[in-house]
């Protein structure tokens, strides 16, 4: 679709609410006369003529045709559904929008939303960001890096099917691979609540009819995902009862739903102390003690240790676990096992 021209008046004055309502009706394929449009918007015929002129000034190609003594207005089929009220953004807002789209493109790279997002960005860049002065939308992506994501083997239609089922509150059935047990479960029935990206992995929080509770499921472990149709018709589960995604994932890190809260205390060596003072590695992080020798006592309250332990390991000898005791024992056993392997080699 060609770029929309914008007059100086249109650039300074966004479409008024009634103009947007008329534009929406035309974008849906309606072809009202002036009198019909006036009745639809509950305004006078004169107001409709003014609204039509407002749309034309904003670059909307409103068409007219005679129908007896009346004049009907409409949009051509190729122009329908493409028009929104003009955006009037500051330079700072344009820059923020460009960065946000680049970040979203990175996050959505393994999903079927990546290509449509790029197409939408091209349209936004052409129609709304062309007037940017302080930065170049075309090259802004080169100034940002959002990190690498693990590659996941996710069927391309999984995201679309899940998104549709969540919107429609539709029960699904699937085969699921549980990595911790190295086992497949067939025909598992779920009520999908929310899709999330956690620790670089795509997850689904859903009510599991088998386990009778809300659990997390890796999208990479899903196969044969399909609507649940026990009698030939889809099943809908209705509103999600008392489910808050923010509370569900709060303080979790890489933990799975249902894991217990754990208090963790670390002794951080002086060489690593500045990093812990400068950055919060978990929302619950607090420095309980700064010792004279430069070491820190750092406290966390986390839900499960599954994802948290990998971060502890990454610090090596610069961090020592003080609590909980079972984690100290687990890391000690792991250390001796690794040391034995290297000594044997």
pLDDT at 12: 43
Residues 301, 262 contacting (CB under 8 angstroms): yes
Assess whether pLDDT exceeds 60 at residue 7.
no
User: 321-332: buried (b, 16+ CB within 10 Å) or exposed (e) per residue?
Assistant: beeeeebeeeee
CATH number of 158-243: 2.30.30
Could you tell me the fold of the domain covering 8-79? Arc Repressor Mutant, subunit A (1.10.10)
CATH 2.30.30, the chain: domain bounds? 158-243
* Tokens at 165, concatenated: 């089922």
Rounded Cα distance, 169 and 193, in Å: 8
pLDDT at 151: 61
Confidence grade of residue 297 (pLDDT, cut at 50, 70, 90) = very high
Provide the total of helices (H) and of strands (E) in the chain, helices listed first: 11, 11
Among 90, 84, 87, smallest CA distance to 55 is for 84
Chain centroid to CA 56:
36
CATH 3.30.70, the chain: domain bounds? 261-344
Q: What is the pTM of this model?
A: 0.61
Over residues 197-215, the mean pLDDT reads 87
Could you tell me the fold of the domain covering 261-344? Alpha-Beta Plaits (3.30.70)
Cα dist from 141 to 120, 219, 252, 309, 337, whole Å: 15, 28, 31, 33, 45
* Tokens at 303, concatenated: 């839900």
In this predicted structure, which of 29-33, 101-105, 253-257 has the lowest mean pLDDT?
A: 253-257
Residues 257, 248 contacting (CB under 8 angstroms): yes
Q: What is the pLDDT of residues 41-87, one digit of tens each?
A: 999 999 999 999 999 988 889 999 999 999 999 999 888 876 555 56
Confidence grade of residue 229 (pLDDT, cut at 50, 70, 90) = very high
CATH 1.10.10.10, the chain: domain bounds? 8-79
Rounded Cα distance, 16 and 7, in Å: 16
Assess whether pLDDT exceeds 70 at residue 107.
yes
């Amino acid at each position: 679709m060609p770029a929309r021209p914008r007059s100086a008046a249109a650039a300074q004055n966004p479409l008024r609410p009634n103009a947007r309502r008329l534009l929406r009706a035309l974008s849906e394929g309606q072809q009202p006369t002036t009198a019909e449009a006036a009745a639809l918007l509950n305004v006078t015929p004169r107001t409709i003529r003014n609204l039509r002129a407002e749309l034309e000034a904003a670059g909307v190609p409103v068409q007219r045709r005679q129908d007896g003594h009346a004049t009907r207005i409409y949009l051509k089929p190729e122009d329908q559904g493409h028009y929104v009220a003009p955006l009037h953004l500051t330079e700072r807002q344009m820059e923020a929008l460009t960065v946000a789209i680049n970040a979203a493109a990175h996050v959505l790279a393994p999903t079927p939303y990546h290509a449509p997002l790029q197409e939408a960005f091209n349209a936004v860049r052409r129609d709304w960001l062309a007037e940017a002065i302080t930065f170049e939308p075309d090259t802004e992506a080169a100034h940002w890096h959002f990190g690498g994501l693990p590659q996941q083997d996710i069927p391309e239609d999984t995201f679309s099917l899940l998104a549709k089922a969540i919107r429609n509150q539709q029960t699904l059935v699937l085969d699921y691979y549980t990595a911790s047990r190295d086992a497949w479960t067939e025909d598992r029935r779920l009520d999908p609540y929310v899709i999330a990206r956690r620790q670089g992995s795509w997850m689904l929080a859903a009510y599991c009819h088998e386990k009778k509770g809300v659990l997390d499921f890796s999208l990479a472990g899903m196969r044969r995902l399909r609507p649940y149709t026990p009698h030939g018709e889809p099943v809908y589960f209705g509103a999600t009862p008392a489910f808050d995604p923010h509370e569900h994932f709060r303080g979790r890190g890489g933990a799975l739903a249902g894991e217990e809260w754990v208090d963790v205390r670390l002794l951080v060596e002086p060489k690593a102390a500045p990093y812990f003072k400068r950055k919060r590695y978990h929302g619950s992080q607090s420095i309980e003690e700064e010792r004279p020798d430069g070491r820190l006592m750092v406290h966390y309250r986390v839900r499960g240790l599954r994802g948290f332990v990998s971060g502890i390991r990454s610090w090596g000898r610069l961090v020592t676990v003080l609590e909980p005791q079972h984690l100290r024992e687990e890391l000690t056993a792991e250390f001796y096992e690794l040391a034995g392997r290297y000594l044997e080699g």
